[in-house]
Amino acid sequence: MHYIVTNDNAYAIDHPKDAIYGAPVLEDGTIDWEGSYDIVWDNLEDEEREYVAHIAYHLQEIAKLSEEHLEVFIK
């Protein structure tokens, strides 16, 4: 799993082709994965949708790089 923490939210992706999901960040800075939720794009304002899309893009790129890195060591 790959994730990015911003303020009081964590955004995560398990695989480059998976959908992004979120989880709340608790006051002590830990992530409440049990409280994770799907991102519902229709419920987001335009500015927030653009922000989350930007995060999703970077998460996908990180996941792709991780897979490529692992392939190098497996071969």
Per-residue pLDDT of the chain (75 residues; tens, 9 = 90+): 789 998 899 999 877 677 889 999 999 999 999 999 999 989 999 999 999 999 999 998 888 887 766 555 544
- One-letter amino acid identity for 51? Y
Global confidence as pTM: 0.78
CB neighbour list of residue 2: distance below 8 Å, 6 or more residues apart: 12, 13, 14, 59, 62, 63, 66
Domain count, the chain: 1
**Residue ranges making up the domain that contains 41:** 2-74
Q: What is the pLDDT of residue 70?
A: 57
67 within 8 A of 16, measured Cβ to Cβ: yes
